[in-house]
Chain A
Amino acid sequence: MEKILDKQRLDDWIAALTDWEAFAPAVEDGVWAFRPVVGAARLDHPNTKQPPKGFAFPQREVFFSFEQIKGEAPRLTQKLPDSKHRVVFGVRPCDARGTVRMDRVFADHVDDVYYQSRRNNMAYVGLACNKPPSAHCFCLSVGGSPVSSDGLDVLMTDLGDRYFLAAITETGKSLMTTAGDLLKMPAAADRKQAASVHAEAVAQPQRAINNPDGAPARLKASFKSPLWEELAQACIGCGICTFLCPTCHCFDINDEVTGSAPLKGNRVRTWDNCQFPDFTMHTSGHNPRPTVGARLRQRVCHKFQYFHENFGMHQCTGCGRCISDCPVGIDIVHVVNKVTEHAG
């Protein structure tokens, strides 16, 4: 299903989606973030500071609460996510591909009921990148594209005064059907313009990983390379690279105590970070990844080797956030290129 939406009518479409809570990028404290749509949604954002991964995988969530009188059995109360339907507008193709990778982790093998139930009630209305939103974009290097529909329910393309909409999934179709007369059939000229915008988008210059297909084998051969410590030397272990990453899924589980006698509290999941030394440190003090170099190697090899070995795809979608926001200038494109060039 393909349609045309007048830009002026975007808000009417969102208003028509009465079964859905709608989110769109908005500037908050000078930062682009996905916020509930209040008034007019604007889709003139570059990319949001944070990817939309928190919609299915919030930074902090309660698994269950417990209450226990000493010596007695505790009462556990599950805190499953609500069943609200949420639709996110303006998701960039790299971030939608990030969600596809998160799905593999949380929904493959054994279902994570917290992730899965949110995910089942979510939809993405994506926006193609006519121009790379960041100087550090490299989606084309990692099997993506600025006009990729992978992971989206609807792909919108900006044609100036109107959007060209393509339904990608059944959910996307139903979102578009709800719009009724707001959406028009595209004319031949609209289709032609959309095709040429896509062709131009793909031809825009981007940064490049030189040999992405060869990366898994070359990284494997470079496990003991001295380059890891060298390239990680400036790392301060702040973890912003993984915090802003659309594919980083590592988490911690802890008990937060809220009261005693009876003991009360919550078992809580929070995002965690492979760049922190205690992420892997055993209780004995032994740490399999004791240095910044070992931790940079883990981040890079997880994305470009281990995930590829397990799932047949890179766990990086080229959004460039970890490069733009690293306070010490560690650049994953440079790291992969440098290490793989010197492999073997």
Chain B
Amino acid sequence: MPDNIYLPELARITYIKEEVPGERAIKTFRVEPLNGDSFEHECGQCAMLSAFGRGEMMISIASSPLVKEYKQFSIMRVGRVSAAFHDLAVGDVVGIRGPYGNSFPVDDWRGRNLYFIGGGCGLAPIWPVITTAVAQRDNFKNITVFYGGRSPRDIMYKAELEKLRGVADVHLSVDKAEDGWDAYCGFVPANVMDKEPSSDNAIAITCGPPIMIKYVIQNLSQLGFADEQIYTTLENKMKCGLGKCGRCNVGKDYVCVKGPVYSWAELKNLPEEY
């Protein structure tokens, strides 16, 4: 930890890609530290990004810890700071501090079948786990990715998902049928139910809108997944990232420190306030 925990490092944007257009636009940013040396992170951890003059926002680090040269973030344009990021260009300098929170216990999952279940921009927080698992393919048995968006235009990481085929089973979905879409039509939890993943020696990792997570967990339980086999990652409004500013708590846990990653078994022990 630096002496001043609130002072961000400076980082240059080296890559911007528009993932999803329109009102709920998502852009992917890669940033590299100006001083050539930044913090290391683990799968599932977050970082606080600064657009100076607009403020800070907490975003999941979407790149694998194995990638050292840059950190990737996929950001939906919704608020003051995210809108400021969407207006930035390659070469612009932003602030970054972190990493914050716990991480997915990926090493404990060696030899198991992994099911990733994402919706909307909820693919980004689990993307570092997916890419890390794929990079260490021999450590795991089957890797399956379920991912859905509202419409075909809302699917992020399209090219990357296509590249996964061959090393992983990829099941895409859109909420509503549309011409030219030949994969599943319907909500993500329904797509999971349709493919009936086996809970045998499996771990399921899910992230997406709260309502999606709720039904994904319900369906996984119905398919025989134990609470300990299901992982998710929470989001809450955050300002400090260090358990001091007092707003992201769920019961006694500050999500920025004790979370964001929880097994369903752990989450069930906290008050239902997220």
Residues of A at the B interface (CB closer than 8 Å) are 63-64, 66, 68, 71-74, 76, 78, 80, 105-106, 109-114, 223, 249-255, 257, 263, 265, 267, 269, 272, 274, 279-284, 286, 288-289, 294, 298, 301-302, 305-307, 309-310
Contacts and interface: CB of A to CB of B under 8 A. Distances in A.
A61 to B, nearest CB: 11
A253 B6 contact: yes
A223 B271 contact: yes
Given A73-B93, A267-B50, 6 more contacts: A66-B52, A68-B93, A78-B4, A249-B244, A252-B245, A265-B53
B274 A254 contact: no
25 contacts: A66-B53, A68-B52, A68-B53, A74-B93, A113-B3, A223-B271, A250-B247, A251-B246, A253-B6, A253-B56, A253-B239, A253-B245, A257-B53, A263-B52, A265-B53, A269-B6, A272-B239, A279-B247, A282-B235, A283-B78, A283-B82, A288-B236, A305-B251, A306-B252, A309-B251
B167 to A, nearest CB: 33
B240 A288 contact: no
Given A250-B245, A251-B240, A64 B55 contact: no
Contact of B252 (A114, A255, A265, A309): A309
What is the predominant secondary structure among interface residues of chain A facing chain B? mixed
Contacts of B8: 76
B249 interface: yes
Contact of B1 (A105, A110, A283, A302): A110
A277 to B, nearest CB: 11
A209 to B, nearest CB: 20
Given A73-B34, A284-B78, A306-B249, A109 B56 contact: no
Nearest to A72: B93
B235 A255 contact: no
Contacts of B240: 251, 253
Interface in B16-41: 34
Nearest to A249: B246
A147 B48 CA distance: 44
Interface string B68-89: 0000000000110010000001
B260 to A, nearest CB: 13
Nearest to A267: B6
B25 to A, nearest CB: 14
B247 A253 contact: no
Contacts of B248: 280
A288 B250 contact: yes
B83 to A, nearest CB: 10
B247 A280 contact: yes
A340 B109 CA distance: 42
Contacts of A267: 6, 50
A254 B5 contact: no
Given A263-B53, A305-B252, A288 B93 contact: no
Contact of A265 (B5, B52, B242): B52
B87 to A, nearest CB: 11
Of listed B34, B235, B251, residue having the most chain A CB within 10 A: B251
Interface in B94-150: 95
Contact of B239 (A66, A74, A78, A252): A252
A265 to B, nearest CB: 5
A253 B95 CA distance: 14
A263 B50 CA distance: 14
Contacts of A253: 6, 55-56, 239-240, 245
The 5 closest A-B pairs by CB, nearest first: A250-B246, A283-B79, A306-B252, A309-B252, A283-B78
B273 A289 contact: yes
Given A109-B242, A265-B53, A73 B10 contact: yes
A71 B91 contact: yes
B153 interface: no
B19 to A, nearest CB: 18
Nearest to B93: A73
B27 to A, nearest CB: 15
A289 B240 CA distance: 19
A113 B4 contact: yes
A35 to B, nearest CB: 28
A344 to B, nearest CB: 15
A64 B210 CA distance: 36
Contacts of B242: 109-110, 112
Contact of A78 (B7, B12, B56): B7
A49 B271 CA distance: 34
B237 interface: yes
B158 interface: no
B54 interface: yes
A309 B53 CA distance: 38
B244 A251 contact: yes
A281 B248 CA distance: 10
Given A68-B52, A255-B52, A286-B210, A306 B244 contact: no
A107 to B, nearest CB: 10
A286 B50 CA distance: 23
Contacts of B252: 305-307, 309-310
A112 B246 CA distance: 14
A63 B250 contact: no
A214 B264 CA distance: 28
B228 interface: no
